[in-house]
Structure 1
Amino acid sequence: AFPASVKISPPKEKPIDTIILNGCECEPYLTADHRIMLEYTDDCILGLKIIMKTVGAKRGIVGIEANKMDAYELFLEKTKDEKNIDVKLLEVKYPEGAEKMLIKALLLREVPAGGLPMDVGVVVHNVGTAVSIVEAVRDNKPLIERVVTVTGKGINNP
């Protein structure tokens, strides 16, 4: 994981025009991001706005996999009056949630080999990070907890 503090402090020579909020699970069978999008939708959107303002980006995109239609429809409803935030549906294919793949799928921009998303004017944050940023700014809460997926045959009562 790349430090969020670096992502929200890009060098002046690398202006950021777009923030992508990654709502794709990074591995099959994970559900933590899905639950965050359903249970903390408003905080995800507020976090996106805070990040956009912090880096001076004029556009925000929330990328959500097609197997999470409930989250997609919820985000569409909650952002319908936001002129600079788009919600995009993505194919369910591994590794669509990887930063460089996500940027290519949503913006048709290619991050150069050895480069960073900020090299093409983009910063990508996970939905959980967006919620944590809101909790830090609004609630003065440090990052002391995280939503995780607990699954498998050994779990009787999830």
Structure 2
Amino acid sequence: MQMQPMQVQLPDEHTHVAFGETLGRLLQGRGRLYLHGDLGAGKTTLTRGILRAYGHRGAVKSPTYTLIEPYALAGKRVYHLDLYRLGDPEELEFIGGRDVFADDALCVVEWPSRGAGWLPPADINLTLEVAEPGRRARLASATPRGAALLAALFENAPGSGR
């Protein structure tokens, strides 16, 4: 079951992080969220908000060189992946990717196109783009769980649209 893509305007960093926090709470610490967008579009900023939903208050850096940054927060496992420098999708196998994508963890993946053919399907694909002022987030479900999550997210969200 796939829903029509939805979008939300994020006019400033505060709103951007708050939206990530809302999304993080909705995901309940499990699933796969794939973040698309150009460099500087705000993927790591959104991830900071997601991590705040589980109590993280420190800095969040994109794991460009380490590929995976694990977080153990509020009894949940959250993995932040940045595949920008991935040479071959098969590298994910060698760095423990199968364990990372366990059903009981949340995987937030930047640059998922670099892992094409190896990565499991996303529950939600989220594309960020610069839309002055701020950013625009376009969300699309890719699994039945993703469709249910987006329906719940946008049920009463102001400023969102299909």
| TM, length-normalised to structure 2 | 0.33
| TM, length-normalised to structure 1 | 0.33
Q: Which has the higher helix share?
A: 1
Which has the greater radius of gyration? 1
